[in-house]
Amino acid sequence: MVHDLRRGRFLKLSALVAAGVLVTSACGGPDLGKQNFARTTVPAASGDASASSGPITDPAVAAAALRPVQPCQFVDQASLAVLGTADGDPVPSTVRFDDCRAKVKDPGGKEITVDVQVGTGVSFASSKGNGQVGGLPQVENKDSGDSCTLSALTSRDPDLGISLAIDYAGGDPCRAGRTLLAPAVQKLRSSPQKYPEAKGSLIDADPCAVLTDAAVDAVVKNAKARAASLHSCVWGTSASVTVLFFPSSPPLEGSGWVKADAGTPNQAFQKQGTAGSSDCQVQWQHRPWQDDRVEIAQVQYTNYDTKPDQDDPCGKALGLAKQVAPKLPQP
């Protein structure tokens, strides 16, 4: 697995593909009687049509600028002070470069959980748009009575953005999200904190640039590259190829993983799926990351329309992995 199981509402990669790679929907006006955090001025979403529906051309939020941005700065103790008292420091994801989580208690003692992702896919961007925030289109998704996801779009086609998933039992999660989203957008435009530069890191690599459409066409016909996030790219839908860069513990044999020859400096491993569809993942350590974590490059081939005994999922994934490896930045 490469997804952080503590996260519930940001779409997993397979769901991103099925949904057209899109997180999020509108919630109604705030019930001020439910607010316990200190009342601050939350700018109402602007109805500026050009900002809400026009092209997004700000270089500060271009994919290349956002890839190395550290997500925890948007939910650190200083950022959460407008909602109440933070429960310690934010916790970065152990399996994503772009995800961080934090908790805060409002003045009434109610807990608010905030999960931020930078450059994640934004669902229903066209139907759930709600004006703009800091000059970027805003999208709200009222998931349930206690949950809301707010996003500021940073690109269209694909729809990507900085997204805040809020859980706030007994409060107004959408209002809390708006309170955090506006300063987050402002921070993106004013020298945001970035991961330290490291030679050959996958942090800055464009996953859509390491395979050509022609290479993918050999295994999935007529598929075009589409970013699922800043660090993942998908070709196709029911039959698909995915390239994903993420941090993890070093890959090892076991639990279905076996050694494979992908022509990589470090040992590669492959794992065939067991769910009935034709599926295989090939991954390898690219370089050290932080503490005991490493940077992982992964290529996955999936075909929901056929069985593995009628296909060669690992052969196809491995063949593509051999083409990806030499195109990665060299440590």
Q: Which helix (H) or strand (E) holds 80?
A: helix 77-80
Which residue range forms the structural domain that includes residue 139? 13-188
Does the pLDDT at position 30 exceed 90? no
Task: Give the residue-averaged pLDDT of 174-186.
Answer: 97
Q: Are residues 184 and 287 in the same domain?
A: no
Q: How many CB atoms lie within 10 A of CB 250?
A: 14
Whether 184 is in a domain gets the answer: yes
Q: pLDDT band for 52, please (50, 70, 90 cuts).
A: low
How far is 242 from 265, CA to CA, in rounded Å? 21
Radius of gyration, alpha carbons of the chain? 20
Number of domains in the chain: 2
Q: Are residues 152 and 219 in the same domain?
A: no
Whether 193 is in a domain gets the answer: no
Q: Are residues 68 and 172 in the same domain?
A: yes
Tens digit of pLDDT for each residue in 245-292? Answer: 999 999 999 999 999 999 999 999 999 998 778 999 999 999 999 999
* Domain finish residue from 188, 220, 251: 188
Q: Are residues 39 and 152 in the same domain?
A: yes
Tokens in use for 43?
């700018």
Q: Are residues 20 and 107 in the same domain?
A: yes
Q: Are residues 131 and 209 in the same domain?
A: no
Judge contact between 28 and 149, C-beta under 8 A. no
Q: Are residues 169 and 221 in the same domain?
A: no
* CA proximity to 151, closest of 52, 3, 35: 52
Q: Are residues 232 and 182 in the same domain?
A: no
Q: pLDDT band for 145, please (50, 70, 90 cuts).
A: confident
How far is 34 from 73, CA to CA, in rounded Å? 27
Tens digit of pLDDT for each residue in 198-257? Answer: 999 999 999 999 999 999 999 999 999 999 999 999 999 999 999 999 999 999 999 999
Q: Are residues 212 and 283 in the same domain?
A: yes
Whether 196 is in a domain gets the answer: no
**CATH number for 244:** 3.40.1000
Whether 108 is in a domain gets the answer: yes
Q: Are residues 136 and 217 in the same domain?
A: no
Residue 109, classified by CB atoms within 10 Å of its CB into exposed (0-12), middle (13-18) or buried (19+), is: exposed
Q: Are residues 142 and 218 in the same domain?
A: no
Tokens in use for 220?
């999935």
Whether 181 is in a domain gets the answer: yes
Q: Are residues 32 and 55 in the same domain?
A: yes
Between 80 and 48, where is the model more confident?
80
Q: How many CB atoms lie within 10 A of CB 49?
A: 10
